[in-house]
Amino acid sequence: DTGVSQDPRHKITKRGQNVTFRCDPISEHNRLYWYRQTLGQGPEFLTYFQNEAQLEKSRLLSDRFSAERPKGSFSTLEIQRTEQGDSAMYLCASSLAGAGGFNEQFFGPGTRLTVL
């Protein structure tokens, strides 16, 4: 068990470009969450998947954002036409949902996005 991994760790892009981030959850975890954290704030929920189904999306997730988890394993988060306000740390977490469990979320190291 290598924990939750995210790639890339850092991304610098110019305004208007598209970016894509990847998250690999803990292997047996069926739930995957995306959060966004700006400087001095706690993480804010964006969306989550159970297996390949996207079950909830925050209103923070504008139509420029899209997330997928095509085979119920890794997930991608794409931001189209990036804006300077998208600069943040994007965190991924996974958990094992099921009876008797605590659904404890384990977080990855994050992807730091800077939009110039």
Partner 1 sequence: KQEVTQIPAALSVPEGENLVLNCSFTDSAIYNLQWFRQDPGKGLTSLLLIQSSQREQTSGRLNASLDKSSGRSTLYIAASQPGDSATYLCAVKIGANSKLTFGKGITLSVRP
In the complex with partner 1, the residue whose CB is nearer, 85 or 98, is: 98
Question: Rounded to the nearest 5°, which phi and psi values hold at 86?
Answer: -80, -10
In the complex with partner 1, the residue whose CB is nearer, 72 or 80, is: 72
Is residue 1 involved in binding partner 1 (CB under 8 A)? Answer: no
Task: Return the bridge partners of 64, or none.
Answer: none
Is residue 17 involved in binding partner 1 (CB under 8 A)? Answer: no
DSSP E strands in 1-116: the ranges are 5-7, 10-13, 19-24, 31-37, 44-50, 53-57, 65-68, 75-79, 88-95, 106-107, 111-115
In the complex with partner 1, the residue whose CB is nearer, 6 or 82, is: 6
**What CA–CA distance (Å, rounded) separates 71 from 84?**
32
Q: Are 113 and 87 in contact (CB under 8 A)?
A: yes
From the list 42, 63, 70, 84, which residue makes contact with partner 1 (rule: CB under 8 A)? 42
Is residue 108 involved in binding partner 1 (CB under 8 A)? Answer: yes
From the list 8, 18, 44, 64, which residue makes contact with partner 1 (rule: CB under 8 A)? 44
Is residue 25 involved in binding partner 1 (CB under 8 A)? Answer: no
For tokens 């208007």, what's the residue? 16
Is residue 109 involved in binding partner 1 (CB under 8 A)? Answer: yes
Site residues (vs partner 1, CB under 8 A)? 4, 6, 31, 33, 35, 40-45, 48, 50, 56, 89, 91, 93, 97, 102-110, 112
